[in-house]
Amino acid sequence: MNHSTPSSTEIRAPSGTLPDAVRHAEPCLWLNPDRLAEVPAAMDACGQNISLHDTQAAASRFGRFAPLLARLFPELQASDGIIESPLTAADPLAPRLGLAPEQGRLWIKADHGLPVAGSIKARGGIHEVLEFAEALALREGLVTPGGDYRALAGPAARAVFARHQVAVGSTGNLGLSIGVAASALGFRAAVHMSADAKEWKKERLRQRGVEVVEHMGDYERAVAAGRAQAAADPFCHFVDDERSLSLLLGYSAAALRLQDQLREQGFAVDAEHPLFVYLPCGVGGAPAGIAFGLRQLLGPHVHCFFAEPVQSPCFLVQMAAPEGTHPSVYDIGLTNRTEADGLAVPRASLLAARLMRPLLSGVFTVRDDTLFEQLVQVLDATGERIEPSAAAGFGGPALLTGSESGRRWLQARGLEHSLPQATHLVWTTGGLFVPEAEHRGFEARGRALLAARR
């Protein structure tokens, strides 16, 4: 099965549950009828069973590598090699998003500032590079289990790593994280980029000695080209954004840290204190990994919602499609054109979609204009600079609490009465490395839109 290009022969109309608004590229909220309150401990991830144990294993791997990462990346010295982001209250932003105090409090999980990669891809992407490096190092006797991984910065390890290549297909941010992590360890690195990838992301990679291969087509084309090239080279490890369990589990480790941060802030997550989490979604691996971890750890009262651009709602389309089909957004007449380059994906990861079937609460879509407006609102209320993709989650709280379908859904679950004690957590997923001039352009566009609305 290879869905590298939109094909007419494979088109099967998604079932009637796909809202008309999705086809018309209008913002909407889709609610998952198959969500289960109780989460199975072990879940099938396309042929492999995964559980909280695997999430913990990913977190332990980050821990084992922390001393090495602190040595390789000066920006990680202060955190002793731990790559994490703060959880911050965002009360001043709430009214601008249409969230009243009696509808809960607004918080931000600030992955837009994650060091090394500058986006949420620091979690999954770096994890997969580390897992590959660890397996190789153990096999070659470069380290022993439980040993000091700082040895991997030495000449013997680097000579071994230099014989291997790590490759990936990406719209940008995954390439940045894989390229930077792989080249820092001494691997050769190749990033296959789609046409919509931003120029500055390519430039940043080239500066670090990463080979950037440019492709004319979309994200799926870049992935397919990278996958094919890697398959022909036994010394090449291909990070497969559409199928990788290592990526997904790397993302899922975020849930463990978030659980600690919620505790530190004195949060309870229970029937009286529901937690709503809004996650920008591209192929689905990042948000699905995090949602998997959160549902395993926090149970029935955490509700995860994915956010997608109106022209690239691949995950929503997949969730609403009949079992056994794998439609793309082109199949329903959408363009997959969006300024949210991190989310410009035409077809969802089946691994992520299957895993989310019983776990996810819903998916909503956002217009590009809204992303720019909210990027400015975030800047003005918090001083934080995020990229357009990272703003996608901010439309969630108002849709859930203010729309007809959202309110009915809350009512049906008895969640309306607990809204005043609810937490709305918006995951901001990228932005740290956006060049100043680029961000000024985003800001100008957002301000013009906001002014026109007044």
Out of 55, 173, 312, 328, point to the residue binding ligand PLP (CB under 6 A): 173
The reply to whether 342 sits near ligand PLP by the rule CB under 6 A is yes
Segment near ligand PLP (CB under 6 A), from 78-86, 115-123, 148-156, 370-378? Answer: 115-123
Compute how many residues bind ligand PLP; rule: CB under 6 A: 20
* Minimum CB distance to ligand PLP smaller for 62 or for 306: 306
Rounded to a whole number of angstroms, the minimum distance from the CB of residue 298 to ligand PLP is 20
The reply to whether 282 sits near ligand PLP by the rule CB under 6 A is yes
The reply to whether 246 sits near ligand PLP by the rule CB under 6 A is no
Segment near ligand PLP (CB under 6 A), from 223-231, 262-270, 280-288, 371-379? Answer: 280-288
The reply to whether 14 sits near ligand PLP by the rule CB under 6 A is no
* Minimum CB distance to ligand PLP smaller for 364 or for 409: 364
Q: How far, in Å, are 17, 328, 398, 407 from residue 31 at the CA level?
A: 10, 20, 15, 11
Rounded to a whole number of angstroms, the minimum distance from the CB of residue 173 to ligand PLP is 3
**Beta strand spans in 64-207 (E):** 87-89, 105-110, 165-170, 188-193
Out of 115, 169, 250, 287, point to the residue binding ligand PLP (CB under 6 A): 287
Out of 296, 370, 401, 429, point to the residue binding ligand PLP (CB under 6 A): 429
Out of 104, 186, 250, 285, point to the residue binding ligand PLP (CB under 6 A): 285
Q: Which of 193, 218, 222 has its CA nearest to residue 311? A: 218
Q: Give the separation between CA 18 and CA 86, rounded to whole angstroms.
A: 36
The reply to whether 122 sits near ligand PLP by the rule CB under 6 A is no
Q: Using CB atoms, what's the residue nearest to ligand PLP?
A: 282
Binding marks (x or -) toward ligand PLP, 388..427, rule CB under 6 A? -xx-------------------------------------
Burial state string for 411-432 with b = 16 or more CB within 10 A and e = fewer than 16: eebebbebbeebbbbbbbbbbb
Rounded to a whole number of angstroms, the minimum distance from the CB of residue 257 to ligand PLP is 18
Rounded to a whole number of angstroms, the minimum distance from the CB of residue 258 to ligand PLP is 16
Rounded to a whole number of angstroms, the minimum distance from the CB of residue 120 to ligand PLP is 5
Q: Give the separation between CA 255 and CA 277, rounded to whole angstroms.
A: 11
Rounded to a whole number of angstroms, the minimum distance from the CB of residue 110 to ligand PLP is 12
Rounded to a whole number of angstroms, the minimum distance from the CB of residue 318 to ligand PLP is 12
Q: How far, in Å, are 143, 148, 219, 282, 404 from residue 151 at the CA level?
A: 7, 6, 37, 36, 58
The reply to whether 175 sits near ligand PLP by the rule CB under 6 A is no
The reply to whether 121 sits near ligand PLP by the rule CB under 6 A is yes
Segment near ligand PLP (CB under 6 A), from 37-45, 72-80, 276-284, 438-446? Answer: 276-284
Helices 285-298 and 254-264, axial angle in degrees (round to 10): 50
DSSP code, position 420? G
* Minimum CB distance to ligand PLP smaller for 109 or for 121: 121
Q: Give the separation between CA 286 and CA 270, rounded to whole angstroms.
A: 25
Rounded to a whole number of angstroms, the minimum distance from the CB of residue 219 to ligand PLP is 9
The reply to whether 281 sits near ligand PLP by the rule CB under 6 A is yes
Q: How far, in Å, are 85, 87, 111, 390 from residue 108 at the CA level?
A: 10, 6, 9, 11
Q: Give the separation between CA 271 and CA 3, rounded to whole angstroms.
A: 42
Q: Which two tokens stand for residue 453?
A: 């609305």
* Minimum CB distance to ligand PLP smaller for 188 or for 424: 424
* Minimum CB distance to ligand PLP smaller for 119 or for 374: 119
DSSP-based helix, strand, coil % in the chain, nearest 5: 50, 15, 35
Out of 212, 283, 334, 356, point to the residue binding ligand PLP (CB under 6 A): 283
Segment near ligand PLP (CB under 6 A), from 117-125, 131-139, 184-192, 377-385? Answer: 117-125
Backbone phi, then psi, for 226, in 5-degree steps?
Answer: -65, -40
Torsion angle in degrees (nearest 10) through CA of 114, 120, 122, 124:
150
* Minimum CB distance to ligand PLP smaller for 174 or for 258: 174
Q: How far, in Å, are 45, 74, 280 from residue 186 at the CA level?
A: 31, 16, 32
* Minimum CB distance to ligand PLP smaller for 276 or for 306: 306
Q: Which of 344, 368, 343, 366 has its CA nearest to residue 442? A: 368
How crowded is residue 8: how many other Cβ atoms within 10 Å of its Cβ?
Answer: 7
Q: In the block, which residue shows the tokens 């940043």?
A: 204
The reply to whether 202 sits near ligand PLP by the rule CB under 6 A is no
Half-sphere exposure of 445 (CA within 13 A, CB side): 16
Q: Please give the residue ranges that form the binding site for ligand PLP (CB under 6 A).
A: 119-121, 173-174, 280-287, 342-343, 387, 389-390, 429-430
